[in-house]
Amino acid sequence: MYLPSFNKNQVYGPKTHWRCSHFGKGCRAILHTLNDMTIVKYYNVHNHLAPETPLHQFKKITFTNTQQGGTIIVLSGNKFYKYRTSGPKIHWKCSRGYKHGCRAVIHTLQDMTVIKCHNVHNHLGPKYFGNR
């Protein structure tokens, strides 16, 4: 899996904003990361064919099968469940969203290509609450 080339734009506390390297040519694709390079926002809509940069520099999203045979996404220890499918897009929500009102979401295409990743949670991470 690869991401197009991004350049650092601004740093706001623990969050870094990146712009596509073709921003000056009108491309509006953006990427937001935390200090540990966890992706918290990814708007992957380019107006060009982008040069590619290996994704290994970012924390990987893991797709895992559940005991019931379904699929979940694990990102930085947080679990996301399939919420709905809308056309070619699959919407995933944080598994703690219902109980805590967490609005963290991931959107993928049918082939599991990530097109949106909003990984900002309003609750403590899994290292604080265990595997509930």
Domain boundaries, the chain: 2-57, 62-129
* 34-to-15, 18, 65, 96 alpha-carbon distances in Å: 5, 11, 27, 21
Cα 64 to Cα 49: distance, rounded to the nearest angstrom? 31
2-57: CATH, from 2.20.25.240, 3.40.190.10, 3.30.70.1450, 1.10.1060.10: 2.20.25.240
pTM, two decimals, is 0.54
Domains 2-57 and 62-129 share a fold: yes
3-state SS, 25-41, equals HCCCCEEEEECCCCEEE
CATH of domain 62-129: 2.20.25.240
DSSP bridge pairs for 65: 71
- List, for residues 66-84, the tens digit of each pLDDT value: 899 989 998 878 899 999 9
- List, for residues 25-41, the tens digit of each pLDDT value: 888 888 888 877 788 88
CB 50 within 8 A of CB 4: yes
